[in-house]
Amino acid sequence: MRYLTGILNSKLVEFWLKHKGKKLGNLLQVDKGPLLQIPIYSSANSTERKSLIKLVEEITALQKNLNLVSENSNKWHEITKEIEKKDKQIDQLVYTLYVLTKAEILTIEGVSTV
């Protein structure tokens, strides 16, 4: 389940849903159809799978800690930065799992290659 959580919360799946789902202003309306069509890479080797699961567990623990500190405190900013760092690591791992090219990654991340 944590493996799936990592994939579903990646920029790749966000990109997928933005192009397959319906937009409601700035929000996405995600219906059953696009969710069922998300290509889940299930043949990751155990090292890749364990790495993704570990990152999801670390983010979950950090989120719990974030809820215990005052918003905008130094500790809150430290935890937020660490979550962002681990999120980027998940994205990179997912890009590797799906064998994306640098150009595809730049497109997903909204960076123009022109």
Q: Where along the chain do its domains lie?
A: 2-108
Residue 72 Ramachandran class (φ > 0 left, ψ -120 to 50 alpha, else beta)? left
Strands (E) located in the chain = 22-24, 27-29
- Of the listed ranges 3-12, 29-38, 58-67, 102-111, the least confidently predicted one is 29-38
Q: What would the pLDDT profile of 5-28 be if each residue is shown by its tens digit?
A: 999 999 999 898 888 877 777 777
Does residue 79 contact residue 62 with C-beta atoms inside 8 Å?
Answer: yes
Q: How crowded is residue 36: how many other Cβ atoms within 10 Å of its Cβ?
A: 7
Amino acid at 3: Y
Residue 36 Ramachandran class (φ > 0 left, ψ -120 to 50 alpha, else beta)? alpha
Does residue 10 contact residue 98 with C-beta atoms inside 8 Å?
Answer: no
pTM of the model: 0.84
The partner residues of 28 in beta bridges, in order of sequence, read 23
